[in-house]
Structure 1
Amino acid sequence: MVERVKVRFPTDDGQQDEVMYAIPSRDNCYILDNSPFYVFGVSYCDEFKVKETDGELVYDFVIARAGHSTYRIRIPAGKEHQYFLEHWDPLAELGCSYEGSSANKKRLYAIDMPPNVDVSKAYNIMEDNEHQGIWEFEEGHYCRADEISIC
């Protein structure tokens, strides 16, 4: 079994940092094993460098992109996970996956788009649903084809 470690990722807004799992790859380098809920600029399977601060691993910068993109969806306050699932199929059919959180009044979903997903189609689906008031979405990281550098 692969050893997973926790790495702290500072957020851009200076609010509470996000802690995610990663897999060691080489000296001071790790591969992200989660989809970010709050952090921008990094996606599932990206390889990154860390620094150690007070005995804790802290994200420093990306060294290799695996080709995944990250988007986030928030559903309206009071809506349950089933509501999300009622609108999820079109994204699942494109090859997207998600991690969910109910830590806030509006449930939040981190959407992973592997390299084989047509991001423009997925974006259009998310945008259409936002215009219909089904959910809100934001881009956490879009991986352009010229950024991919799988190790």
Structure 2
Amino acid sequence: MNEESDENALCKIAFAMDDEADVESERFWARRTESGSYILENVPFFVPGIAVEDEFLAEGHDDEAWATELIGDGGHATVWVEGLERKHQKNHVLLAEVSLELEKLGCYCEIESTNPRLAVDIESADNIDEIISLLYRLEDAGKIGFAVAKTMDWLTALLRDE
């Protein structure tokens, strides 16, 4: 590590998954705060209930730390999108196109290459009507499936009862 303070240093933090999950754990970039907690820096693909800017505690060293407790809500929502094309490559193309559309509406997206899956960070209620409308339009057309992994009040009101 360079001579900068440990505050705001990025490190990898692992989150353990339950037995029914597709993976055993998921690792994230996090920023250490002055108080020793961590702020999540990237969008989760598998861990529900967390989002970018959420604050949590962790145990262990920075290169082998495990999250232990969520202590602060960063105000972001997380949505997972899966392509419903039969061929892997077509899903990559579809999700890249969906990602571009969502980014135009102010979302930040990451594509997981092996599944393929899109993790979407929605920072605020700005453009939320257009974001949800786009997702439902693509879902109704049979192109994608999506799930809200972490919601906020401004998002919950727009979701269909299912």
Task: Please state which band the TM-score falls in when normalised by the shorter chain.
Answer: 0.7 to 0.9
Quote the offset at 1:112 in angstroms. Answer: 0.6
Indicate yes or no: 2:55 matched with 1:44: no
Choose 8-17 or 82-91, whichever is displaced more: 82-91
Structure 2 regions of 5+ residues with no counterpart? 155-162
Number of the residue aligned with 2:122: 113
Determine which of 19, 34, 38 is the counterpart of 1:30.
38
Q: Displacement, 1:86?
A: 3.2
After TM superposition, the structure 1 = structure 2 runs for residues 1-151 of structure 1, keeping only pairs within 5 Å, are 2-12=8-18, 13-14=20-21, 15-52=23-60, 56-75=64-83, 76=85, 77-78=87-88, 79-104=90-115, 107-144=116-153
String of CA shifts for 1:75-130, please: whole Å, max 9, x gaps.
Answer: 134215332233445423321120111112xx111001012434354223212211
CA displacement at 1:16 relative to structure 2: 1.5
Alpha-carbon distance, 1:34 to partner: 0.7
Contact 2:42 2:52 in 1 (8 A): yes
Q: 1:127 to 1:61 in 2, by over 3 A?
A: farther
Task: Give the root-mean-square deviation of aligned CA atoms.
Answer: 2.4
Residue aligned with 2:95, SS:
helix
Q: Which residue of 1 aligns with 2:160?
A: none
- Are residues 48 and 93 of structure 1, via their aligned partners in 2, closer, same or farther at CA, if it must alter by over 3 Å? same
Deviation at 1:135, TM superposition (A): 1.1
Tell me: higher relative CO, structure 1 or 2? Use CA pairs within 8 A at least 6 residues apart. 1
Contact residue 56 and residue 68 of structure 2 kept, 8 A: yes
What TM-score do the two structures reach when normalised by structure 2?
0.75
Q: Share of identical aligned residues, percent?
A: 25
Provide, for residues 14-58 of structure 1, a one-character-per-residue CA deviation record: whole Å limited to 9, x for no partner.
5411011101013441000110000011101111111339x8311
Segments of structure 1 that go 5 or more residues without pairing to the other structure are 146-151
Which TM-score applies when normalising by structure 1? 0.80
User: What is the letter of the counterpart of residue 99 of structure 1?
Assistant: E
- Greater shift after overlay, 29-38 or 72-81? 72-81
Q: Distance in 2 between matches of 1:102 and 1:85?
A: 11
Tell me the distance in 1 between the aligned counterparts of 2:16 and 2:104.
33
Larger radius of gyration: 2
